[in-house]
Amino acid sequence: MRLLIEAKHLYRYYGKQCAVNDVSFTLEKGQVLGFLGANGAGKTTTMQLLCGNLAPSAGQIKINGFDLLAQPKQAKQHLGYLPDTPPLYRDLTVKEFLRYCGQLHGIPNNSLPQAIAYAVARCGLNDVTNRLIAHLSKGFQQRIGIAQAILHNPELIVLDEPTVGLDPLQIREIRTLIRELGQDHGVILSTHILSEVQESCSHVQIIHQGQLILTESVAGLNKVMDTGVLQITTRLAPDIQQLLAISGISAIETLSENQIKIHHSLTDNPIQQITETIIAAGWELQELSPVKKSMEDIFIALTQDNEL
């Protein structure tokens, strides 16, 4: 697969404040990368660096092989960007606005109707092309923002929090659109909504205090979330120290006198030994069930670990 983004050792300072701290990653065509972090973690600053709106204090960015600083025009020809606030002219119709954007992108006049038709169809705007943008809902305005980002058919699409302020139905529609775009393009989706990453993305990165603390495929993350924790209920209170002596157990949480959560190694699964120990000790096993971790659990654990 072709690399669409090569970001190497990116730094961005605001005075003495380091907003982006040694960030490096790549993105290939066909990948949808969820760029996840709390507000103020450095997501938007990183997005602006990738799109050339901000210059890095240090580091290198290549877009489809072109250096963004040394060859900005060539690099940006392969880039579509939707900032967190869509840059719309509300007194224009949808078609007028997209025609204007196409001219800014340098699309030839004889190719412009076809490009507009493609973007309109892809973003579900066929019924509103002649309406004023000011009269459309926020969901449609987000779609128009995405349409201007894909109008010139770029290899790479960068979307900064595209579902903020939308209702649940609008969010579902935008997520479906993002998944569809990921089939033909490379997409970066910046968000602080954890479920959005699970539903829309193939890969995930978590940024915290300007640093990447996780880079993983969503499939790999889902595999981690499905295992590793057991909830156990016994009739008699178990001996925690006796259980901790079992190989593969990393920690035990006491939920009540007779209920515990056991965190265990993924490679050294101790379920059989736990069961045998409980039976032999006479604690009378009443429940043993795996606990599915949520992405929230992983996010909180990672960010808390990095604050210690």
Does 301 reside within a domain? no
- pLDDT at residue number 308: 40
CATH number of domain containing 38: 3.40.50.300
C-alpha 308/C-alpha 299 separation (Å) is 15
Residue with tokens 């938007």: 44
Asked if residue 90 and residue 123 are part of one domain, the reply reads yes
- CATH number (domain holding residue 266): 3.30.70.100
Is position 108 within any domain? yes
**Which is nearest to 29 in space by CA: 188, 160, 204?**
188
In a shared domain, residues 32 and 146: yes
Question: Does 116 share its domain with 255?
Answer: no
Q: Are residues 123 and 190 in the same domain?
A: yes
Closest listed residue to residue 209, CA positions, set 33, 49, 45, 21: 21
For the chain, the average pLDDT equals 90
| Alpha-carbon distance values, 6 to 1, 83, 146 (Å) | 13, 20, 23
Q: How many domains does the chain have?
A: 2
Assess whether 249 and 205 both reside in one domain: no
* 298: three-class secondary structure by DSSP: helix
Domain edge (last residue) among 158, 188, 216: 216
271 within a domain of the structure (yes/no)? yes
Q: Do residue 42 and residue 136 come from a single domain?
A: yes
The count of residues in the chain is: 308
Distance of alpha carbon 163 from alpha carbon 221, whole angstroms: 23
> Tell me: the pLDDT tens digits for 101-152?
999 999 999 999 999 999 999 999 999 999 999 999 988 999 999 999 999 9
**At 14, is the secondary structure helix, strand, or coil?**
strand
Q: Closest Cα partner for 50 from 32, 25, 28?
A: 25
73 and 98 co-located in one domain: yes
Asked if the model's pLDDT at residue 220 lies above 90, the reply is no
Q: Specify whether the CB–CB gap between 136 and 147 falls below 8 A.
A: no
Question: Is the same domain home to 118 and 262?
Answer: no
- Look at residue 143 and tell me if it is in a domain: yes
**Mean pLDDT lowest for which of 27-36, 54-63, 136-145, 164-173?**
164-173
d(Cα 50, Cα 290) in Å, to the nearest integer? 41
The answer to whether 68 and 144 are in contact (CB under 8 A) is no
Q: Can you tell me the distance from the alpha carbon of 22 to that of 25, in angstroms, rounded to the nearest whole number?
A: 10
> Which residues constitute the domain of residue 271?
227-291
Range 189-211 average pLDDT = 88
Residue 149 located in a structural domain? yes
* Whether this model's pTM surpasses 0.85: no
Answer yes or no: is 127 within a domain.
Answer: yes
Please report where in the chains the tokens 């990447």 appear, as a residue. 212
Q: Are residues 238 and 173 in the same domain?
A: no
- Beta strand 249-256 with 259-264 is antiparallel
**Residue 162 has which token pair?**
């595209």
> What are the angstrom distances between the C-alpha of 59 and each of 50, 54, 186?
11, 12, 22
